[in-house]
């Protein structure tokens, strides 16, 4: 049985003060949440990780980084290691987000190094995969998913593959207000799950959680969550407000009942 996971990617929004406000608001709204049924992860900018972790301490709400570098330390100006994220209170880390791929030249090899680094220090990687609009229109969606998933997981043993979360995020749906239809999301998630079966085994295919990301909102989360291979959501814009994010979490929890 896969546990639902809803994560909020705050991107480069929220100062420390604003991040404390937002996480306090979410703590108030979600205090009744059944944390045995659903994982909630907040991914603020690096600067606010420790403060957010302190606010949600002992609530069952998790904190995640938005990226990491694959070495433990060194002369890599601007980078942050997995060990540093752990110390700041993180349990999760987003890897290979399409904005990293698009604006910072991140490619499969770097994603693979980061994923291994995250696992080696006990962080759960949320690995983002997904096609651009031109790739979808050219009928290449599954090819892109295959390349992203196999590239990210290259050299990973089944026992480690079991520990990851995959976020299917069609790039054309991120921050555009255009959500993939539940059918499109299910089709992509099913493809990824079948691919995990081919790459590993039935256990990995049935255990790995696959989140959908791309303009998730309170009014579309339930239908997405009803798809058999959709195990949660990675939420950008709608995670920046207490009302919308808590509503998404509550609606996802209702679908589980
Ligand atoms: C994201 O940044 O991962 C994302 C899905 O953004 P949005 O929800 O704003 O489309």
Query: Any idea what DSSP says for residue 179?
Result: P
Q: How far apart are the first and last CA of the chain?
A: 14
Residue 36 scores a pLDDT above 90 = no
Band (139; pLDDT cuts 50, 70, 90)? very high
Q: Which CATH superfamily is domain 4-256 in?
A: Aldolase class I (3.20.20.70)
Q: What pLDDT, on a 0 to 100 scale, did the predictor assign at position 135?
A: 96
Q: Where are the domains of the chain?
A: 4-256
Report the SS3 class of residue 150: helix
Q: CA-CA distance, 14 to 118, in Å (whole number)? A: 24
Report the SS3 class of residue 11: coil
Average pLDDT of the chain is 96
Minimal CA–CA distance to 97: which of 159, 139, 152? 152
| Residues tagged active-site | 97, 169
Q: What pLDDT, on a 0 to 100 scale, did the predictor assign at position 11?
A: 98
Q: CA-CA distance, 64 to 87, in Å (whole number)? A: 11
Q: Which residues are near ligand 1 (CB < 6 Å)? A: 9, 169, 174-175, 213-216, 234-238
Give the Å distance between the CA of 79 and the centre of ligand 1: 23
């Amino acid at each position: 049985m896969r546990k639902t996971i809803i994560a909020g990617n705050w991107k480069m929004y929220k100062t420390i003060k604003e991040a404390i406000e937002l996480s306090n608001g979410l703590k108030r709204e979600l205090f009744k949440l059944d944390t045995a049924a659903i994982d909630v992860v907040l991914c603020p900018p690096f600067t606010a990780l420790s403060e957010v972790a302190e606010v949600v301490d002992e609530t069952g709400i998790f904190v995640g980084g938005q990226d990491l570098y694959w070495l433990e330390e060194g002369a890599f100006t601007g980078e942050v290691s997995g060990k540093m994220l752990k110390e700041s209170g993180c349990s999760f880390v987003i890897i290979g987000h399409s904005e990293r791929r698009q604006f910072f030249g991140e490619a499969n090899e770097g994603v693979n190094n980061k994923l291994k680094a995250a696992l080696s220090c006990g962080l759960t990687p949320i690995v983002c995969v997904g096609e651009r609009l031109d790739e979808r229109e050219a009928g290449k969606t599954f090819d892109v998913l295959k390349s992203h998933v196999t590239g990210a997981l290259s050299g990973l043993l089944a026992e480690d593959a079991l520990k990851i979360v995959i976020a299917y995020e069609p790039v054309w749906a991120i921050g555009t207000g255009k959500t993939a239809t539940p059918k499109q999301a299910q089709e992509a998630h099913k493809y990824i799950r079948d691919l995990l079966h081919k790459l590993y085994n039935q256990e990995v295919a049935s255990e790995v959680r696959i989140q959908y990301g791309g303009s998730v909102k309170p009014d579309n989360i339930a239908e997405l969550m009803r798809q058999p291979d959709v195990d949660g959501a990675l939420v950008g814009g709608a995670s920046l407000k207490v009302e919308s994010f808590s509503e998404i979490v509550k609606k996802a929890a209702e679908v589980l009942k």
